[in-house]
Amino acid sequence: MQISNNRVIVTEWRFAPGAETGWHVHEHDYVVVPQTYGVLQLETLEGTKTVPLVAGQSYARSVGVQHNVINPTDHEVVFIEIEVR
């Protein structure tokens, strides 16, 4: 975790090959800023999907997202997550 205050939580995530978050629910709206290229595998209540990561190309999600995130690649995947309180 890089910053945690009453407005935002900023976390750098580093996923080794095969690493996963475990099932969780996001308690805040959030923005992800990929630092590396790659893909992530998302296990959701609707099924599993693979999403590309493009370094520097941000995306946002709303509060309540529930998933398990897996790095299916053979290299480390890095991104910054900014949660908005």
For the stretch 24-48, pLDDT in tens is 999 999 999 999 999 999 999 999 9
**Quick one: tokens of 56?**
């520097």
pLDDT, residue 55, reads: 98
Q: How far is CA 36 from the centre of its chain?
A: 12
Closest by CA to 72, choosing from 44, 43, 45, is 43
In the chain, the number of structural domains is: 1
**Domain boundaries, position 44:** 3-84
Angle, vertex CA 52, rays to CA 46 and CA 53, nearest 5:
120
CATH at residue 50: 2.60.120.10
Q: What is the dihedral of CA 56, 11, 71, 38, to 10 degrees?
A: 10
* pLDDT value for 37: 97
This prediction has a pTM of 0.90
Q: How confident is the model at residue 2 (pLDDT cuts 50, 70, 90)?
A: very high
